[in-house]
Amino acid sequence: MIRPVGSDELHPLYVYDPIEHEKLSHEAENLPSVVISSQAAGNAVMLGGGYFSPLKGFMNVADAMGAAEKMILTDGSFFPVPVMCLLENADAIQGADRIALRDPNVEGNPVIAVMDVENIETVSDEQMETMTQKVYRTTDPEHPGVAAFNSQGRIAVSGPIQVLNFSYFITEFPDTFRTAVEIRNEIKERGWSKVVAFQTRNPMHLAHEELCHMAMERTGADGLVIHMLLGKLKPGDIPAPVRDAAIRKMVELYFPPNSVMVTGYGFDMLYAGPREAVLHAYFRQNMGATHFIVGRDHAGVGDYYGAFDAQTIFDEEVPPGALDIEIFKADHTAWSKKLNKVVMMREAPDHTKEDFILLSGTKVREMLGRGEAPPKEFSRPEVAKILIDYYQSLND
C-alpha cells in the first residue's frame, strides 16, 4: 500500500484513547480559550483525521511563509499551503502555554482541539500579501478564497494540537465523512492495491462518471474513492447532502458492485486552483490513493487560473520526490455527437466545439429549476431527478 507523505505511518492528531480523551476534554474546559475561524476549524479536522500527516499542528509564520513561497517548511519537509490559526484578537490567551480552540461552526462553540502554544505572532501586511499571492495567484478581494483567508485576522497562534472532535461533519454526514485513517483501513480491507481518487464539490454528471471509468481502466485500478468536500463552499454551490444523494445514486446504478467508496472530508474550499490541487494530491496519498484525477481548472473559480495550471504545477513547482501519488491528467470530458460516447476533448482532434454536447452550469441550473432534465448525454436521468427536486424546492 502507498505510504503516507513523509512517513511510513499516518500521524492523526485525534485523541483516540477514551481515557485520555475524557481527561483532555475535562482539562480543556478550564483552559484559556478562543473561538477560531471556520478555516482553522477545517484545518483542525484535517489534522485530526490524519489527512495533513505528519504535521503536528498549526504553523508558525516562518513555516507558513515557507509553505507559501516554496512548499517547503523550515525543517525541510514538504507542505503545499499554510496551515494557520489566525485570530483577530488574542487577549484571552496572552501568556498561556496551553489553550483550548473552540469551534465556530457548532452551537455553543465546543472545544475542537487543545494546543500547546509555541508562538503568538503578528503577521505583517507584506507577509499576508505574499502568502495570498503565492497560494491563490491573486490578491483580488473578490476571489472567495482570498476573501476568506484575509478575513481571519493577523495574529498567528501556532503549536502542536490534540483534536477532540470532528466538528459538525460526523453528526451531519455520518454515512459520508471519513478520516484518512478510516479510508486507508477500508482500502486495506477491500484488498485494493491501485486506487483512483476523484475530488468533487459538485454532483457528478455523465462526463465525470465516464472520466472515473476511464481513469480506472487506464491505470488498472481495483477501486475508486469519490471524495467529496463537505465544508463551506461559495454561495450558489449545491449543498453536500444533495450532492451526496446524487453521487450515491449514480454509483449504485452505473458502477460495478464494491468498486467504489463514496466518502467525504471536512474542510472549507480554498478555490486556490493549482496550489489546492497539490494539497488535494497530498491528502489523497495520506488516505491511501495511488492515483489522483486532476482535470481542467481543478479547484478553480472564475478566470483566475489557466485551464491546465493545476496539472503543470506538479511538473514545474512540486519538489521532486515530494509525493508518491501519480496524477491522472484529464482534459474536459463531453459527449461526442460523432462518436456517440463521452470522450476527452483532446483525444478527439477532428472535432469542433459543435460536435460536443456542452452546457454551461448556468444553463443546467436554469433547466433543473424549471423541472427539465438535461439531455441524457449530459446527465443520468436518476441523478437529474434528485437535482430537479432540490432546485424546485428553492422555488417553493
What are the residue numbers of the active site? 201-202
Q: Is 265 exposed, middle or buried (0-12, 13-18, 19+ CB in 10 A)?
A: buried
* 54: preceding bond cis by omega (within 30 degrees): yes
Q: Do residues 327 and 284 make contact, with C-beta atoms less than 8 angstroms apart?
A: no
Q: Is 365 exposed, middle or buried (0-12, 13-18, 19+ CB in 10 A)?
A: middle
Grid cell listed for 183? 479510508
Q: Is 265 helix (H, G, I), strand (E, B) or coil?
A: strand
Determine how β-strand 223-229 pairs with β-strand 260-265.
Answer: parallel
Show Cβ contacts of residue 181 under 8 Å, excluding neighbours closer than 6 positions.
Answer: 10, 12, 49, 50
User: How far is Cα 137 from Cα 299, in angstroms, rounded to an integer?
Assistant: 13
Query: How distant, in Å, are the alpha carbons of 38, 58, 112, 275, 305 from that of 29?
Result: 20, 21, 11, 37, 44
